[in-house]
Amino acid sequence: MWQLGPFPVRAYALAIIVGIVAGVLIGDRRWVARGGRSGTVADVAVWAVPFGIVGGRLYHVITSPEAYFGAGGNPVDALRIWKGGLGIWGAIALGAVGAWIGCRRRGIRLPPFMDAVAPGILVAQAIGRVGNWFNQELFGRPTDLPWGLEIDPENRPAGYESFTTFHPTFLYEALWCLAAAGVLVWADRRFRMGHGRVFCLYVALYTTGRLFWELLRIDEANLVLGLRVNVWVAGVLLLGSVVALVVSARRHPGREEVVEPAAAPSGDGADTSARPA
């Protein structure tokens, strides 16, 4: 944290903000290339980002309730997102709800919009993971590899106090997200993907990597049948995204045409762009 006069500037929050800005800029460029209007992605982000932050925090608190409502926990800490703790699954789920609201207000369809912003979401995730380095969190098992991350003694989990360097799983995730973003851009150009398939591919690629680094992590987590909850969630989403990708390709081959009204429609669905003031 840096003190800017009376205002604290926290590295974790700064990483998230920079990631959001990068994601919006990339998404705007791709949306325009698909036939949309510049500025629409930022308009939709006004809805999607707050929903995503709330969803990410809710998922984290629900899947790790002991830290807030267990013995010695403080429920107020659930509101302190600047200390870390945002679950990507909740962020994407509620963020998509916010995006749907924003798209509906702009009179555009959600699937092509999500296809346009998918690579930018991955870039935003990669940048946001830098915040985990500042917070010394979400690292993996001990390692002697040259890129092993040195963790301060007070941040080492119980049972690992004697180890110094650990797998930087958040770095693995950041690099994977950047590589996956490149794959999405290539696949979209090569196969002219549409009807939500770019977003489905995003989910499939991200969850494939998540299965790997989730098994490396040693932070406390609830288990189901001996596996971390996030492992099960990633597996289910990977399967679902692959099925959705195949079904979409069969039912709606090719890429749909993006049609966006010149002005946001009014509440009754009518375009007000030609009405007198």
Q: What is the pLDDT of residue 274?
A: 38
Q: Which residues contact 158 (CB under 8 A, 6 or more apart)?
A: none
Q: What is the pLDDT of residues 159-193, one digit of tens each?
A: 999 999 999 999 999 999 999 999 999 999 999 99
Q: How confident is the model at residue 95 (pLDDT cuts 50, 70, 90)?
A: very high
Q: What is the pLDDT of residues 125-161, one digit of tens each?
A: 999 999 999 989 889 999 999 999 999 999 999 999 9
| CA angle (90, 92, 93) in 5-degree steps | 60
3-state secondary structure of 3: strand
Q: How confident is the model at residue 82 (pLDDT cuts 50, 70, 90)?
A: low
Q: What is the pLDDT of residues 107-127, one digit of tens each?
A: 999 999 999 999 999 999 999
Mean pLDDT of 30-48: 96
Q: Where are the alpha helices (DSSP H) in 34-109?
A: 40-63, 66-69, 88-106
Q: What is the pLDDT of residue 99?
A: 97
Which tokens go with 7? 């205002």
> How many C-beta atoms surround the C-beta of residue 8 within 10 A?
11
pLDDT(275) > 50:
no
Mean pLDDT of 40-69: 90
CA distance 172 to 228: 18
CA distance 100 to 39: 16
Q: How confident is the model at residue 80 (pLDDT cuts 50, 70, 90)?
A: confident
Mean pLDDT of 209-234: 91
CA distance 231 to 235: 6
Element (H, E) at 228: strand 227-228
Q: What is the pLDDT of residue 96?
A: 96
| 72 against 270, higher pLDDT | 72
Q: What is the pLDDT of residue 62?
A: 84
Lowest mean pLDDT across 89-103, 208-222, 230-244: 208-222
Q: What is the pLDDT of residue 75?
A: 84
Pairing of β 149-150 and β 165-166 = antiparallel
